[in-house]
Structure 1
């Protein structure tokens, strides 16, 4: 019996010496908790990976980099962190604001050394784009590659390695010295090592997680067999606008519409409403910060959340921000002019070799505007998982 008690006391003593008391316990995520408080709880991560996606949505360009709750959480921090800019004043969210469907109300966004060369594109439903290339001119073959190009841009975030800028390696060193990144990168990747590839993967996961499927359109589409059916929750005007959007136009020999719809779905097919691959430009060929023409802009964001539910635009439209109302954008496509030098105009906009004339009526314009407004949801503007995790 005495031997047993000695053994038990020894075990108890050993446990007491080896256990972490409240005085010597080191929290492996102390910096994350100190920086973000309750906005990020690594023990109870927000749901990024298993969000509900409607059955009628079939596109997914993120299969090579599946969304994880851990990766998207890191991506969220990177997206909102001004430390990713050379002077600690600009983050990705400076140009892609949640309140504006992750776009900007400014025509050109403010960077560390000037302004952006094109208007900031909305980031709604990027995961479900049929076109896998990104930027207005599609120079990024993947979203992953796209994510760090603004950081490497002299005007935007200033780690270009040229024009007196530090390069991306300097940014990696800078982030490596921040305690919360040491903890987050180890949490996600198992090691504190930071690389551009890891940054790209996390940012792309966060951006692809930003989805909007709670619109009036989605409520109607869920009850219908296809988009061509009349939606029971739509007004007559909204259903008319949907049909005009979906149906191809009929043209005479000179490109003047004689019947049919407006053909919007030829480039922005439902239900994703993103741009069709291999599209040409839409006839807007201006240059935001300079002179001459730019015919390379063939990408566009999804038409979802082009406006808020009250009809307010989420910033100006097109790469030059030249369009400032839904009526104006429909009017632009109503009459396409064949501008000298524009050898890249989309063929669908020049039927029979002529710039299209849709001969729009006021009821048609109003109906299409009413339909476009049904593509807007509400959750994307307020969901905490896509919000700024840093203290205000």
Structure 2
């Protein structure tokens, strides 16, 4: 009898351990402790066999990572996935994070301004792919969020976007939390992830940011070539001559004359968008785009940019317009913008790298160089990002 009692005690202890939230192993008990999750997300989420978010393959040449104090777990990212796609996070149950950050568009939007519960966004929605792999830890175009964790709940608390601002007749985020606390599958998911049914803004931030950081793309033509090369400066054996020319132009700094006109070298995109992450330099200032989406005046505060990976899909179409104003719709127009930088009145925040010797840069690109740059930028797009079910809607 003592042996039987001991056996039952051990197995009961293991059962409690499996749902405590402290162990991210996939070796869960077969006893279904989460019936509402099982029912709601049948065929999409299996808590006994979670998708791999925590241990995805990251190439050895990728070294940048803005994860601080909130490592990705399978449990946390699974909860984050549900939160990301749930319209319950908006005041009128019509908008989710995924409404503006769409998997088919590298988690960006083809609309210039995304639709919210009380109007449209004031800046174009930024692509989220590879958000983790950057030295820049701040988020939003104007870097007003110190971390991704802080960023995740700000759209929820925006009057225009998701409507829990606590102003203009909106309820506050505490109203949202009370709303989610009444939803049975959230009681179970928060218990599963954190060991308690209690929902807080911090827990929402932790889960959403784990899911967003899990969205990665390293299966591009560029990655195939980079894996075979000692460094980025070597010609990639899988690239065409045009693609290698574009890579060289991208990486090599330009040589300017006294009037800011390029006389040699490359075009130096990598000075601000360094390979192999192609993230934005944290010290970058305004890039010469100072327009606003709504209203009049200028906006010179925008100094953040998404990774240049997955600017386009495999068919060459863009994942939506580019820049915070969404005013540049093709890679050619983006290159054209940087080809001739105008010193606009009032732009006191223009990056000094775009005004050599005090003049707006003139790259004097030939048609051959423009086409080579475009060819190279297209090599930065993968395929799995758009189809992997672990980043798709669980509803």
TM-score range, shorter chain: over 0.9
Q: How many residues align?
A: 373
Q: Distance in 2 between matches of 1:63 and 1:50?
A: 17
Residues 66-77 of structure 1: pairs in structure 2 closer than 5 A: 66-77=71-82
Residue 254 of structure 1 corresponds to which residue in structure 2?
A: 259
Q: Distance in 2 between matches of 1:237 and 1:156?
A: 42
1:46 matched to 2:51: yes
Question: Equivalent residue of 1:240, what SS?
Answer: helix
Q: Distance in 2 between matches of 1:378 and 1:62?
A: 24
**Over residues 149-193 of structure 1, what are the superposed CA-to-partner deviations in whole Å (9 max), with x where a residue is unaligned?**
000000000000000000000000000000000000000000000
TM-score by length of 1: 0.93
Q: Which has the larger radius of gyration?
A: 1
Counterpart of 1:143 (choices 144, 148, 164) is 148
Structure 1 moving runs of 4+ over 4 Å: none
Q: Distance in 1 between matches of 2:295 and 2:134?
A: 30
Q: CA RMSD in A?
A: 1.8
Residues 52-67 of structure 1: pairs in structure 2 closer than 5 A: 52-67=57-72
Deviation of 1:27 (Å): 4.2
Q: Distance in 1 between matches of 2:233 and 2:315?
A: 26
Counterpart of 1:202 (choices 196, 199, 207) is 207
Structure 2 unmatched runs, 5+ = 6-30
Residues 349-364 of structure 1: pairs in structure 2 closer than 5 A: 349-364=354-369
Residue 155 of structure 1 corresponds to which residue in structure 2?
A: 160
Deviation of 1:352 (Å): 0.1
Deviation of 1:295 (Å): 0.1
Q: Distance in 2 between matches of 1:304 and 1:84?
A: 29
Counterpart of 2:196 (choices 186, 191, 195) is 191
Deviation of 1:28 (Å): 2.2
Deviation of 1:63 (Å): 3.5
Residue 170 of structure 2 corresponds to which residue in structure 1?
A: 165
TM-score by length of 2: 0.92
**Over residues 129-151 of structure 1, what are the superposed CA-to-partner deviations in whole Å (9 max), with x where a residue is unaligned?**
11110000000000000000000
1:332 matched to 2:331: no
Residue 41 of structure 2 corresponds to which residue in structure 1?
A: 36
Residues 241-320 of structure 1: pairs in structure 2 closer than 5 A: 241-320=246-325
Q: Distance in 2 between matches of 1:33 and 1:159?
A: 29
1:89 matched to 2:97: no
Residue 328 of structure 2 corresponds to which residue in structure 1?
A: 323
Deviation of 1:204 (Å): 0.3
Structure 1 unmatched runs, 5+ = 1-6, 12-25
**Over residues 309-330 of structure 1, what are the superposed CA-to-partner deviations in whole Å (9 max), with x where a residue is unaligned?**
1110000000000000000000
Deviation of 1:64 (Å): 1.3
Residue 18 of structure 1 corresponds to which residue in structure 2?
A: none
Counterpart of 1:387 (choices 377, 384, 392) is 392
1:80 matched to 2:85: yes
Q: Distance in 2 between matches of 1:192 and 1:69?
A: 18
Q: Distance in 2 between matches of 1:232 and 1:74?
A: 41
Q: Distance in 2 between matches of 1:78 and 1:226?
A: 39
Q: Distance in 2 between matches of 1:247 and 1:27?
A: 58
